[in-house]
């Protein structure tokens, strides 16, 4: 008989390395045509980080994302970046790029201030213009300012910066410290059907609520969450590396190492929690790895909710689920009341 259950799991996850230095550096230059070029050592692996980093530079400079050309991952020419790991790119590399863009913008403000007859601190960069705050009609195109900076003032509009998440080393005696600059949080709820005769589990739906600070690109955040859930579903129910007694993997192939297909994926509802981290670029933190953290736990809790069975070893294959259901049933059997019986006899 199929039994339906729901389970919930929560998690927190740190952004960046544990205390160890993990800097990112960046160069941003504003060109005479009003576009900008970003140099970053980080690598795009499909998660969309270069889009997000371009958005961060664009937001700081008041231009469009399409105006930003991101040059990345060339160790000959791009500045050092620790890499697309530790869910750190948006936060750490993003901070470096925002700071570098801010420096380039400060040069633009210094150049534009005398042109507009105001002080640099009265200026803002918006809509591809350098304009006087609250008087947007008093403005100059950002390209014209960049041109003036180079050819009249002799001070090209560029900035470089690096960012290393501030941490405090852990005290070996007390364990106290601040190992990470920021953390993200999430809750996922799984709804499953468990066949209590075969042990087969079908994940029907996952609702995933994630805090990643400001979601700079919500569509890409959704993509990360959906991808993480697919990894979590595989971790929970299917994926298992098998080794022989000499440590050689028995299933080093996709025939026997089973990962989720389109048929295994549940319906997914993504909820991006509105949050703002003042230490992140425009309030952003990160979202990559944490997306896969709570999924398996939520599914196991849902199996327990459906059947009363606790699975302690992943993946929860039909064999393991069935064995756990049998254990749960054996515990539910009524215990013989020996003590009460003997008491009754004694009373007689």
Partner 1 sequence: MTDVTLKINGETRSAAVPPETTLLKMLRESFSLTGAKLGCDVGDCGACTVIVDGLPVNSCLMLAGQADGREVLTIEGLATPDHLHPIQKTFEDCASLQCGFCGPGVIMSSKALLDANPNPSVAEIRDALAGNLCRCTGYTKMIEAVQQAAQVMRSAKSKRAA
Compute how many residues bind partner 1; rule: CB under 8 A. Answer: 24
Paired sense of beta strands 68-72 and 36-40, if any: parallel
Identify the residue among 75, 134, 262, 330 touching partner 1 (CB under 8 A).
262
Contact 132, 126 (CB under 8 A): no
The answer to whether residue 231 forms part of the interface with partner 1 (CB under 8 A) is: yes
**The dihedral of CA 311, 315, 320, 325: what is its sign?**
positive
**CB neighbour class for 338 (10 Å; exposed up to 12, middle 13-18, buried from 19):** exposed
Instruction: Enumerate the β-bridge partners of residue 158.
Output: 29
Q: Select which of 106, 197, 289, 319 is catalytic.
A: 289
Kindly identify the residues of this chain, within the stretch 102-161, that bind partner 1 according to CB under 8 A.
Answer: none
Piece in contact with partner 1 (CB under 8 A), picked from 156-164, 166-174, 178-186, 253-261: 253-261
- Considering the complex, what minimum distance in angstroms separates the CB of residue 201 from partner 1? 18
Comparing CB distances to partner 1, the nearer of 79 and 232 is 232
**What minimum distance in Å lies between the beta carbon of 267 and partner 1?**
9
CA–CA separation, 285 vs 92, rounded Å?
9
Shortest reach from residue 225's CB to partner 1, in Å: 8
Member of 263, 333, 339, 340 binding partner 1 (CB under 8 A): 263
Pick from 43, 226, 251, 304 the residue near partner 1 by CB under 8 A: 226
Which strand (E) or helix (H) includes residue 221?
helix 218-237
111, 153 Cβ separation under 8 angstroms: yes
| Range 309-338, binding partner 1 (CB under 8 A) | none
Q: Binding residue for partner 1 (CB under 8 A) from 12, 18, 45, 271?
A: 45
Residue 26 in the binding site for partner 1 (CB under 8 A): no
How far the first Cα of the chain sits from its last, in Å, is 46
Q: Does 229 bind partner 1 (CB under 8 A)?
A: yes
Residue 55: CB minimum distance to partner 1, A: 14
Among 47, 82, 87, 307, binds partner 1 (CB under 8 A): 47
Shortest distance (Å) from residue 37 CB to partner 1: 24
Residue-wise burial string across 294-330, b where 16 or more C-beta atoms lie within 10 A, e elsewhere: bbbbbbbbbbbbbbbbebeebbbbeebbbebbeeeee
**How far apart are alpha carbons 343 and 125 in whole angstroms?**
88
Told to judge if 289 belongs to the known catalytic residues of this protein, a careful annotator would answer: yes
Provide the CA 200 distance to its chain's centre, in angstroms. 31
Q: Is residue 261 close enough to count as binding partner 1 by CB under 8 A?
A: yes
Using the contact rule CB under 8 A, the part of the chain among 44-52, 107-115, 134-142, 149-157 near partner 1 is: 44-52
Candidate list 8, 85, 265, 327; residue touching partner 1; CB under 8 A: 265
Note whether 222 binds partner 1 by CB under 8 A: yes
Q: Are 318 and 198 in contact (CB under 8 A)?
A: yes
Instruction: Centre a 10 Å sphere on the Cβ of residue 74 and count the other Cβ atoms it contains.
Output: 11
Beta strand pairing call for 267-272 and 183-195 = unpaired
Active site residues: 289
| Chain positions contacting partner 1, by CB under 8 A | 45-48, 219-220, 222-223, 226-231, 253-255, 259-263, 265, 268
């Amino acid at each position: 008989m199929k039994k339906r259950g729901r389970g919930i799991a929560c998690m927190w996850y740190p952004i960046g390395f544990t205390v160890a230095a993990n800097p990112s550096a960046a160069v941003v230059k504003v060109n005479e045509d009003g576009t900008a070029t970003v140099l970053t050592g980080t690598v795009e692996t499909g998660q969309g980080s270069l889009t997000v980093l371009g958005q961060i530079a664009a937001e700081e400079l008041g231009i469009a994302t399409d105006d930003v050309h991101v040059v990345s991952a060339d160790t000959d020419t791009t500045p050092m970046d620790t890499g697309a790991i530790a869910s750190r790119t948006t936060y750490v590399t993003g901070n470096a790029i925002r700071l570098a863009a801010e420096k380039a913008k400060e040069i633009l403000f210094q150049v534009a201030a005398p042109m507009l007859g105001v002080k640099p601190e009265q200026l803002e960069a918006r809509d591809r213009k350098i304009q006087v705050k609250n008087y947007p009609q008093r403005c100059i195109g950002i390209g014209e300012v960049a041109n003036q900076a180079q050819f009249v003032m002799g001070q090209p509009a560029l900035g470089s910066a690096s960012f290393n998440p501030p941490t405090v080393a852990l005290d070996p005696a007390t364990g106290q410290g601040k190992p990470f600059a920021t953390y993200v949080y999430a809750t996922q709820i799984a709804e499953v059907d468990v066949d209590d005769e075969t042990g087969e589990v079908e994940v029907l739906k996952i609702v995933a609520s994630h805090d990643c600070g400001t979601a700079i690109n919500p569509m890409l955040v959704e993509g990360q969450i959906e991808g993480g859930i697919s990894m979590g579903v595989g971790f929970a129910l299917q994926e298992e590396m098998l080794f022989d007694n000499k440590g050689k993997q028995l299933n080093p192939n996709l025939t026997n190492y089973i990962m989720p297909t389109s048929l295994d994926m549940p319906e997914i509802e993504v909820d991006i929690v509105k949050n703002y981290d003042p230490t992140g670029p425009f309030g952003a933190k990160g979202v990559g790895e944490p997306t896969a953290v709570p999924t398996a736990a939520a599914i196991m809790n849902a199996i327990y909710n459906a059947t009363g069975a606790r699975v302690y070893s992943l993946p929860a294959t039909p064999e393991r689920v069935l064995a756990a259901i049998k254990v749960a049933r054996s515990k539910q059997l009524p215990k013989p009341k020996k003590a009460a019986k003997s008491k009754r006899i004694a009373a007689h």
